[in-house]
């Protein structure tokens, strides 16, 4: 990038000229249905500032562009205000969640540091909020099935036909709920299937996959959530018969993935508590090469907080939280624990309207290493301009992720892992500044800029070459300390053209710079722009269009593989245009809704990951049903 | 396919003047179909006759229709024959030509399911394959009175296999129109 671009960036950031951030992108349940979202990961198709990659089209590695590492994402997930840790060996896949799409009321995506119930999510956050069921008994669900184009059809029996490509689904989400006054209980069930048969990944997959049917990923999940006497209790468990591509293993490993969680929270008057426990487990299935990966992580999070009013209406909230993590490797032979204790205080002074401010300070003890977090957010409500500042310095142990376990001497599987000579007493530091501005009444403009500085950021860095059979990747992974800076800027415009037609454009650009290539190489994407349109000629019928251009991405870790097999692997993936179209119709007084979605309408086969399947056009049909028997006290 | 789907939103935006009472009537059609073109597919398979049933109803503009068609391709070389089941949903315009004649150009999308006489892959139970299909066609109908009508149709199907399957069909059939029942109208509205 030339010096001119760098200067422009600094000018834009310093003066905020025309670039600012909306506080968050909010997707409602209606947005999800109208866009034909069938899986949780499909939600990311609607995001404006998030990038994603996948090897098989089911598990997606996602990150807010320029705000969180793509290779080892550190964004936080919250479900109904509860922090949920999805990490399983450096992967966070939304599709593993035991959460029904149909129960989601709102998804809030933050691409900047944000404080949620006393937790500072420095790398952005996804907040999923579920709807409280309606009074009475309700039965709701969704059934989807789809097929990627590109199958050979009858040409399979000729010399010019290829092999089958992926089929998606059927995907079933269903829930049964009962509610009376402020008490409710809801049970949900999910089932999903995804075929991993793309010709690009199939040779790797079938090396280890053994099964009666063609290679596929199977997901089953159950969930429960209830609200009783002010207490909110959620629980869920999911099982995935997975074919998980692990970068440090260089191929798809057939393993059973389990994710279970339970959480409870209560808030009344000045007291609030929050408890959550999660279990993530990976166990390899039988395979011809006896590749074995066994990993189990149990984690407990607890927080209690209270608040007081100072000097009239200035609010001070303070809390204490603890995280206990227990991990087991290699059939339980290796066992380790990490713990973290944190006290925090959030002060919202009563400034003269329309000026608002919130300041958080927190002190932590992460596996015996002290750390701190300082965050301030000030904004002008009338002018809709604001500034966020962050200083965070905490031990690697606070992140409880793949890098933290490996640096403690645990090596999952037979992967080649090297740990750089890290100073365990050193802490990772993040410093950031984000400016945001919104303007307009009918036509809304949202602009944002941010800059983020990382010091002593510990992350895995994998270099992949081909094995002697040229089938799978031989990966060498280093756990290294890096430093660098990344700047981002984004724009959104929302324009209701007519009563029936709304239009929006968005764009985001991020640029990292550092003397260390290991820092620069962690940010694969730079640019993403898009537009969306929604046409509703009738309240019961809609057309939804999403057009997105994802700029080229660079994957230096695949340079050796690209040299070994240039026609197959590439260190640079070209930019791609995605066009998605959804037609949606309500029936039977909203009890039924049917949508037909075409993803990648232009049918440009493209890669989102150098070692991944080619994504082709996908046609999907979704039927959503909702039946309600109202209770007498409401009717 | 991209052009077929691009037509959909543009047409909806521009023909709002043709708005009508949606789901007020129902037209049922049954027709015999015949694939008539020659392509790479026909070097290996011979098309046999097929049939198709459709139901259409007035939409917010134009007509919304759902169709189910079956036809077969017999092998002419040492490849297995297959039967095809084509389910689609589409939208058509109504263009009156005379008092009794009407033209209905339309588009549809759906699923084209092929069931082969032999297994597709080595795995158990895999004897079929489904692919996305889009079509564009025109139907010409003649009102016979007493709600009955006869029609003929020319239709182009594009099955999204790799390589693509290009299929031209001509068909003829008979249909009947009726008022939509209250229950069905409530269900569809």
Average pLDDT over residues B144-150: 93
Q: Do B12 and A149 touch (CB under 8 A)?
A: no
The Cα A574–Cα A581 span in angstroms is 23
Lowest mean pLDDT among A66-80, A257-271, A289-303, A576-590: A66-80
Q: What mean pLDDT, rounded, does chain B reach?
A: 87
Q: What is the mean pLDDT of residues A475-484?
A: 91
Say yes or no to pLDDT of A6 above 80. no
The answer, yes or no, to whether residue A164 has pLDDT greater than 70, is no
- Is residue A26 situated within a structural domain? yes
Shortest Cα distance from A267 to chain B (angstroms)?
A: 43
Report the pLDDT value the prediction gives residue A166, as an integer from 0 to 100. 64
Closest by CA position to A521, among listed A21, A71, A53: A71
For B81-115, the pLDDT digits (tens) are: 999 999 999 999 999 999 999 999 999 999 999 99
Q: Give B154's Cβ-side CA count (13 Å radius).
A: 5
**Count of A–B CB contacts within 8 Å?**
119
What's the structural domain count of chain A? 1
**Phi and psi, residue A380, nearest 5°:** -105, 115
Q: Which helix (H) or strand (E) holds A29?
A: helix A29-34
Using the structure block, give the residue that is written with the tokens 């129960």.
A103
Q: Give the contacts of B23 (CB within 8 A, at least 6 positions apart).
A: B57, B58, B59, B180, B184, B185, B188, B189
Residue labelled with tokens 């892959």: B121
- Facing A160 at nearest CB: one of B60, B163, B188: B163
Interface touch A617/B132, C-beta < 8 Å: yes
CB contact under 8 A, A588 and B124: no
**How near does any CA of chain B get to the CA of A413, in Å?**
30
Q: Is the pLDDT of residue A538 over 60?
A: yes
- Which two structure tokens, joined as six digits, stand for A149? 């184009």
User: In sequence order, which ranges of A531-609 are alpha helices (DSSP H)?
Assistant: 559-564
Question: So what's the pLDDT on residue B3?
Answer: 57
B115 touches A: beta carbon within 8 Å: no
Distance CA A286, CA A549 (A): 41
pLDDT of amino acid A150? 78
CB-CB neighbours of A520 under 10 Å: 17
**Across the interface, do B187 and A619 touch by the CB < 8 Å criterion?**
no
Report the number of secondary-structure helices (H) and strands (E) in chain A. 6, 36
Least confident of A16-25, A501-510, B10-19, B73-82: A16-25
Q: Is residue A634 part of a domain?
A: no
Chain A: closest CA distance from residue B143 (Å): 30
**pLDDT level of residue A455 (50, 70, 90 thresholds):** very high
Cα–Cα nearest to A436, from A503, A390, A377: A377
What six digits make up the tokens of A504? 């929006």
User: What is the DSSP code string of B102-166?
Assistant: EEEEEEEEEEEEEEESS-SSSSTT--EEEEEEEEEEEEEEEEEETTEEEEEEEEEEEE--SS-EE
Q: Is B7 on the interface with A (CB under 8 A)?
A: no
**Residue A340 falls inside a structural domain:** yes
Q: Please tell me the distance from the alpha carbon of residue A286 to that of residue B140, in angstroms, as a whole number.
A: 61
The backbone torsions φ and ψ at residue A136, rounded to the nearest 5 degrees and listed phi first, read: 115, -155
pLDDT band (50, 70, 90) for residue B146:
confident
- Domains along chain B? 2-188 (2.40.160.20)
Q: How confident is the model at residue B61 (pLDDT cuts 50, 70, 90)?
A: confident
Query: What's the confidence (pLDDT) of residue A3?
Result: 43
Alpha-carbon torsion, ordered A416, A420, A426, A430, to 10 deg: -70
What are residue A488's phi and psi, to 5 degrees?
Answer: -140, 155
Helix (H) or strand (E) holding B72: strand B63-75
Q: Which residues of chain A have a CB within 8 Å of the CB of B60?
A: 537-538, 541
Q: Which residues pair with A173 in a beta bridge?
A: A142, A190
CATH code, domain carrying A192: 2.40.170.20
Q: What's the whole-number average pLDDT of chain A? A: 88
- Examine the pLDDT at B16 and tell me if it is beyond 50: no
What domain range is A319 assigned to?
A: 3-629
- List, for residues A76-125, the tens digit of each pLDDT value: 999 999 999 988 777 888 999 999 999 999 999 999 999 999 999 999 99
Which of the four pLDDT bands, split at 50, 70 and 90, describes residue A13? very low
Whether residues A162 and B60 touch (CB distance < 8 A) is answered with no
pLDDT tens for each residue of A207-245: 888 877 778 899 999 999 999 888 999 999 999 999 989
How far apart are the C-alpha atoms of A136 and A234, rounded to whole Å? 20
Distance from CA of A545 to the nearest CA of B (A): 9
Residue of higher predicted confidence among B5 and B142:
B142
Question: What's the average model confidence in pLDDT over A305-327?
Answer: 91
Which chain A positions have a beta carbon within 8 Å of B186's beta carbon?
588-589
Q: Provide CB contacts within 8 A for B146, sequence distance 6+.
A: none
Sequence-distant (6+) residues with CB within 8 A of A394 are A364, A366, A369, A371, A372, A373, A427, A428
Q: What is the pLDDT of residues A591-606, one digit of tens each?
A: 999 999 999 998 888 9
Q: Is residue A635 part of a domain?
A: no
Q: How far apart are CA A42 and CA A540, in angstroms?
A: 23
pLDDT of residue B83: 94
CB contact under 8 A, A154 and B116: yes
Q: Which of A611, A559, A248 is nearest to A419 (CA)?
A: A248
More confidently predicted of B185 and A144: A144
Distance from C-alpha of B87 to C-alpha of B81, rounded to nearest angstrom: 20
Q: Max CA-CA distance within chain A? A: 82
Residue contact A160–B189, C-beta within 8 A? no
Q: Determine the pLDDT at residue A23.
A: 66
**pLDDT of res. B129:** 85
Confidence of residue B120 (pLDDT cuts 50, 70, 90): low
- The pLDDT score that the predictor gives to residue A165 is 65
> How confident is the model over A547-572, as a mean pLDDT?
91
The reply to whether residue B126 touches residue A214, judged by beta carbons under 8 angstroms, is: yes
Whether A52 and A64 have beta carbons less than 8 Å apart is answered as no
Q: How many CB atoms sit inside 10 A of residue A579's CB?
A: 21
**Percent of chain B at pLDDT exceeding 90:** 63
Sign of CA dihedral A582, A588, A590, A593: negative
User: Is A543 inside a domain boundary?
Assistant: yes
Return the percentage of chain A with pLDDT > 90, whole number.
Answer: 57
Higher pLDDT, A431 or A270: A431
Token digits of residue A403: 């890098």
3-state secondary structure A191-260: EEEEECCCCCCHHHHHHHCCCCCCCEEEEEEEEEEEEECCEEEEEEEEEEEEEEEECCCCEEEEEEEEEE
- B61 CB neighbours in chain A (<8 A) are 537
- Minimal C-alpha gap between A216 and chain B (Å): 12
Q: What is the pLDDT of residues A35-71, one digit of tens each?
A: 989 999 999 889 989 999 999 989 999 999 988 888 7
Cα–Cα–Cα angle for A85, A86, A90, rounded to 5 degrees:
110
The helix/strand/coil state of B7 is helix
Query: B56 to chain A, minimum CA–CA distance in Å?
Result: 16
- Taking any CB pair shorter than 8 Å as contact, residues of chain A touching chain B are 147, 149-158, 160-165, 167, 212-214, 501, 533, 535, 537-538, 540-541, 543, 545, 579, 581, 583, 587-589, 596, 598, 601-603, 617, 619, 621
Taking contacts as CB-CB distances below 8 angstroms, the residues of chain B near A533 are 9
Burial of residue A437, with CB atoms counted within 10 A of its CB: 0-12 exposed, 13-18 middle, 19 or more buried: buried
């Amino acid at each position: 990038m030339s010096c001119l671009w760098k200067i422009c960036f600094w000018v834009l950031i310093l003066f905020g000229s025309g670039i600012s951030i909306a506080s968050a992108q909010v997707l409602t349940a209606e947005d999800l249905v109208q866009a034909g979202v069938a899986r949780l990961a499909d939600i990311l198709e609607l995001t404006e500032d998030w990038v994603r990659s996948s090897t098989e089209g089911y598990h997606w590695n996602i990150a807010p562009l320029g705000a969180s590492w793509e290779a080892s994402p550190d964004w936080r997930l919250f479900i109904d205000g509860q922090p949920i840790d999805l990490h399983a060996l450096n992967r966070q896949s939304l599709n593993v969640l035991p959460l029904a799409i149909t129960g989601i009321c709102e998804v809030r995506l933050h691409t900047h540091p944000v404080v949620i119930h006393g937790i500072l999510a420095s790398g952005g956050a996804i907040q999923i909020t579920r709807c409280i069921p309606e009074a009475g008994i309700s039965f709701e669900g969704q059934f989807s099935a789809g097929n990627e184009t590109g199958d050979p059809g009858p040409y399979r029996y000729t010399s010019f036909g290829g092999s089958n490509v992926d089929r998606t689904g059927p995907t079933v989400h269903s829930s049964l709920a009962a509610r009376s006054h402020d008490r409710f209980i809801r049970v949900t069930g999910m089932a999903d299937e995804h075929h991993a048969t793309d010709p690009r990944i199939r040779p790797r997959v079938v090396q280890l996959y053994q099964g009666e049917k063609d290679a596929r990923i199977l997901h089953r999940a159950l969930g429960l959530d209830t609200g009783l006497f002010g207490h909110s209790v959620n629980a869920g468990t999911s099982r995935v018969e997975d074919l998980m591509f692990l970068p440090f293993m260089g191929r798809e490993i057939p393993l059973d993935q389990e994710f279970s969680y339970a959480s409870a929270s209560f808030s009344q008057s000045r007291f609030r508590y929050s408890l959550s426990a999660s279990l993530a487990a990976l166990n390899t299935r039988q395979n011809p090469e006896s590749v074995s990966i066994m990993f189990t992580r149990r984690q407990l999070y607890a927080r209690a907080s209270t608040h007081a009013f100072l000097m009239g209406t200035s609010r001070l909230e303070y809390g204490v939280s603890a995280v206990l993590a227990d991990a087991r490797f290699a059939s339980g032979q290796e066992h380790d624990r990490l713990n973290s204790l944190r006290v925090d205080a959030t002060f919202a002074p009563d400034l003269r309207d329309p000026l608002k401010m919130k300041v958080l300070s927190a002190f932590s003890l992460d596996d015996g290493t002290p750390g701190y977090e300082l965050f301030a957010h000030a904004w002008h409500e009338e002018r809709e301009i604001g500034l966020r500042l962050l200083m965070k310095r905490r031990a690697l142990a606070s992140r409880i992720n793949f890098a933290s376990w490996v640096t403690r001497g645990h090596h999952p599987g037979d992967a080649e892992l090297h740990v750089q000579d890290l100073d365990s007493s050193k802490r990772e530091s993040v410093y950031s500044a984000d400016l945001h501005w919104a303007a307009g009444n009918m036509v809304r403009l949202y602009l944002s800029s941010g800059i983020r500085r990382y010091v002593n950021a510990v992350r895995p860095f994998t270099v992949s070459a081909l094995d002697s059979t040229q089938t799978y990747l031989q990966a060498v992974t280093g756990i290294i300390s890096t430093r660098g800076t990344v700047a981002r800027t984004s724009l959104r415009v929302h324009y209701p053209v007519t009563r029936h037609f709304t239009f929006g454009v968005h764009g985001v650009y991020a640029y990292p710079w550092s003397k260390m290539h290991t820092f620069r190489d962690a940010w694969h994407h730079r640019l993403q722009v898009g537009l969306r349109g929604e046409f509703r000629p009738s309240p019961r019928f809609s057309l939804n269009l999403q057009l997105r251009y994802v700029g080229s991405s660079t994957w230096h870790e695949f340079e050796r593989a690209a040299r070994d097999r240039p026609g197959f692997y590439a260190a640079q993936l070209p930019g791609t245009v995605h066009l998605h179209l959804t037609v949606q119709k309500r029936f039977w007084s909203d009890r039924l809704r049917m949508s037909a979605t075409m993803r990648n309408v232009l049918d440009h086969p493209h890669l989102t990951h150098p070692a991944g399947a080619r994504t082709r056009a996908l046609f999907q049909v979704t039927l959503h049903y909702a039946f309600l028997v109202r209770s007498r006290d409401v009717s | 396919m991209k052009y077929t789907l691009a037509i959909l939103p543009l047409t909806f935006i521009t023909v709002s003047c043709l708005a009508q009472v949606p789901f007020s009537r129902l037209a049922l059609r049954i027709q015999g179909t015949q694939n008539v073109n020659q392509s790479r597919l026909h070097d290996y398979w011979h098309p046999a006759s097929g049939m198709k049933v459709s139901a259409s109803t007035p939409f917010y503009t134009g007509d919304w229709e759902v169709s189910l068609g079956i036809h077969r391709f017999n092998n002419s070389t040492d490849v297995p024959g297959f039967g095809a089941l084509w389910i689609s949903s589409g939208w058509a315009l109504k263009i009156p030509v005379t008092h009794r004649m009407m033209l209905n150009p339309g588009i549809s999308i759906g699923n084209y399911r092929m069931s082969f006489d032999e297994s597709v892959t080595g795995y158990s139970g895999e004897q079929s394959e489904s692919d996305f299909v889009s079509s564009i066609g025109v139907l010409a109908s003649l009102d016979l009175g007493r709600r009955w009508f006869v029609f003929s149709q020319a239709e182009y199907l594009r099955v999204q296999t790799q390589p693509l399957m290009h299929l031209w069909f001509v068909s003829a059939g008979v249909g009947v129109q009726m008022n939509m029942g209250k229950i069905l109208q409530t269900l569809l509205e």
